[in-house]
Structure 1
């Protein structure tokens, strides 16, 4: 079955590529599936195969160079998870805020061409006749496009594929996009829940690379995604956040709970693209904040995330973001990522518990106890790696992130007493302020979500946690604050040529300049 699905995807890819590159948004909106229903009517392939493709291209599973530009050289770096030893483009690049437009078009292009388009195609084919496929495509569409909105802000969502009277594709503000995300998730959850409750057959098992056709897990994932987005907008629209969050918390089928519930796409037999970037190209190493936090907490997840340096067993070094690098060899001996399995993770079940912990801080109905959820989040993350000594870790009320020392260049050090070093410990303190509790929750959430840098970067922007180290060199020409960090990516320049009128209106929605220093709608802290 896997061979047949991959053959179908190759056929789809050939048709898509035959229509040209993503240089025009009109091309992105074209239907790449020019075969008829009779060509794919067996085993629901007409509706199922496009969603297989959408899963595989959330991160370009089979094209590491594109995946590197799609996420690694932006969100994975901005999140504080990773850093590259490579001085790309004369060491003026994203990592020191010298943003490169020809890098940063990739998240946009990949999402619209390879995920949004097939999801909409399946929705159109499924209609009301196949509610399970319609719901599945809808959930996948929200999962993909909220990530794009969290990179750029306003996006083309409600009007995707619609050319208005001015011959443009109209944007939604981020607030409008999020409102539709919630509506779409509500629709999908209700459709799929009703479908399951009626005992209807489960029909997309052959195409599902995440949960193997387990409809209940898809409902739990959709509920957790709804809670994620609700928590995200609490600073911008607390009433809407509470409404959507409580709907997710009170759904009878609940949220993701155990490590086996992780939302991770099976890409086997292809290796994880981060393995190629790290081991084949030597373009990827541990970050300085990861070294500081994981070694400071004596975190047993450390060897599951990274390997020791060339200096020997038990020694870990990360690279600080935005530093002077003249030769790649200066830092290639620092800690590599531990080799990742052939699954790309987009949501760990541990995140659901940390979302509930924050919801409890907000006093949302159905959230339960903040401390219980916090500790379950940590223990669920430990379970993911087969680590058993979670109680000792949770009792630690003394260890804190360590000062950072760069053996290659002391200019990059973060010394004891720096405002960029957190004073937070692991052990929960019920008497602490709400802000301290939030920092504790988000710090552990950040650790548990690794290596999913897109979500980690988003949560850092929203909360300011965990405390990260600012860039040493800032090549943004004063458009991005060193102390406030990068907040978004500018809109792709191709939109200037192909969709300029709509782009102009989208820029006004930002209420500030279209650059990396402008905050998104939900970024209020």
Structure 2
């Protein structure tokens, strides 16, 4: 699946010129010198969603015991076997040479005509996309990235500096804040249908920006609890963040050939040749069945009337026929590939605040927020209000926070893991931070030390061409914010 990166939204190609080398972006007479932000923004948004939903998601969903590898790359991920040959397209063409360049070009184009609405959205999403890169790889090019011929060997900034900033570097928190401020400024033009997330609703973008601040604070909260609390308190004081499912930061793809969400291509029964490299993990089905969770029927297919799965790391004869396998349902893929890709959600926000109420002492009733997260996830999955109420009535132990703080956090993160179904990167981030949910070790595990990866290795091409990269940072070396 490393070569399944044939689709990037057409307009994205207007901004990413020669990508033969990382960030070696050359201008040619064949490329337009000026592209309006209304053309650039949709390609940037789909670029971020593509990066989140494609091979990095296939990797994370597998190592997080949501899917199991039945062949190809997922079969190696499933036994924790990763190396610097993985994710080269994701690094070069999806993140740096794709979405991030598009956001830079959107900001430049918007600033040239005073379109602050566009630059605000682009700054918020540029920060989100950089967080994706640093959460996966750790220290990455940031302050000197995206400079093209001006610097083809950018320095590698510390993850701590990328998040927090320094006197010389604007951190991710401040980049989001700047984007939100831009949304409040006068704008010569504003997005409409070209805004694939909110259709030009800037109020919702402000809520999304503040909720991304919550996400960032949550990510670093074990390493920097005082800063995390400060940011969360700031957002709570604004009272302007995602509070309902209709405000989720979701990106929809198309349903025609070449425009579908990546997960449809690699996981759906109706997808392409890579679809038979993954199936749903027995571990995930067992987890939800153990909780009598009605979302299982909404999340996972069962073509034969029963769930057909394998345990992670399984090396026996696969179930036949392949058409019987349980896979991601249309909740994740869309009926015909449209998704949506769920980047930041109402349920995620509720679980973040439930956790921080316990660990950081931020405002809010942890149990009420926990239950709010479960309800939001169940509603998004398609359960009716009556079905949700029935589940709460029949399963009081599951929906109540009791015991020690550690036991409460385990319940919150486990439910957050379930709610994040289809977004393996968010599931992986939380597991690395907290150690939850408690997942069985995969069978036949190898890898660096036989343990679940806690980062991706730098790609071989970057180590070879950029002396600023430190070689041999293996998958068992924690990133800065991972202190579990």
Q: TM (normalized to structure 1)? A: 0.79
In the alignment, is residue 141 of structure 1 matched against residue 118 of structure 2? no
Residue segments in structure 1 that go unaligned for 5+ positions in a row: 1-7, 41-45, 399-424, 508-512
How many matched pairs? Answer: 452
RMSD value over aligned CA atoms? 2.8
Q: Against the structure 1 CA distance between its residues 177 and 486, is the aligned structure 2 distance closer, same or farther, given a 3 Å change threshold?
A: same
CA contact (8 A) 2:69 2:76 kept: no
**2 CA distance for matches of 1:334 and 1:56?**
29
Where does residue 394 of structure 1 map in the other structure?
A: 392
Counterparts of 1:11 and 1:337, CA distance in 2: 29
Counterpart check, 1:187 vs 2:178: yes
How do residues 98-177 of structure 1 correspond to structure 2 at under 5 angstroms?
Answer: 98-109=81-92, 110-127=94-111, 129-162=114-147, 168-177=153-162
1:287 aligns with 2:291: no
**Structure 2 CA distance for partners of 1:329 and 1:166, relative to 1, 3 Å:** same
| In 1, Cα distance between equivalents of 2:217 and 2:75 | 36
- Aligned partners of 2:38, 2:27: CA distance in 1, in Å? 16
Alpha-carbon distance in structure 1 between the residues aligned to 2:136 and 2:9:
27
Tell me the distance in 1 between the aligned counterparts of 2:373 and 2:204.
Answer: 18
Counterpart Cα distance in 2 of 1:11 and 1:229? 29
Instruction: State the 1:497 CA deviation.
Output: 2.1
| Pairwise CA distance, 1:330 | 8.2
In structure 2, the partner of 1:429 is 401
> Whole-Å Cα distance in 2 between the matches of residues 306 and 53 of structure 1?
30
The answer for the alignment partner of 2:42 in structure 1 is 52
1:95-494 paired onto structure 2 within 5 Å: 95-109=78-92, 110-127=94-111, 129-162=114-147, 168-179=153-164, 180-192=171-183, 194-195=184-185, 203-252=190-239, 254-269=240-255, 270-278=259-267, 279=269, 280=271, 281-308=275-302, 310=304, 313=305, 315-325=306-316, 329=320, 333-339=324-330, 340-341=333-334, 342=338, 343-365=340-362, 367-387=363-383, 388=385, 389-397=387-395, 425-430=397-402, 432-476=403-447, 479-482=448-451, 485-494=452-461
- Counterpart-to-counterpart distance in 1, 2:26 and 2:96: 11
Distance 1:325 1:108, change over 3 A: farther
The alignment partner of 1:93 has SS state of helix
Larger Rg: 1
1:407-439 deviations in whole A, cap 9, x for unaligned? Answer: xxxxxxxxxxxxxxxxxx513134x11111101
TM superposition shift of 1:31: 5.7
Distance 1:215 1:303 in 2: 35
- Over residues 140-176 of structure 1, what are the superposed CA-to-partner deviations in whole Å (9 max), with x where a residue is unaligned? 1111111111110011112113489996211111101
CA contact (8 A) 1:227 1:249 kept: no
| Counterpart position of 1:523 | 482
Question: Is contact 2:313–2:443 with CA below 8 Å preserved after alignment?
Answer: yes
Aligned to 1:413: none
Report Cα offsets for 1:234-286 as digits up to 9, x if no partner.
Answer: 1111121111222222224x221212222111212344332332313322211
The CA distance in 1 between the partners of 2:213 and 2:126, in whole Å, is 13
Alpha-carbon distance in 2 for matches of 1:31, 1:434: 55
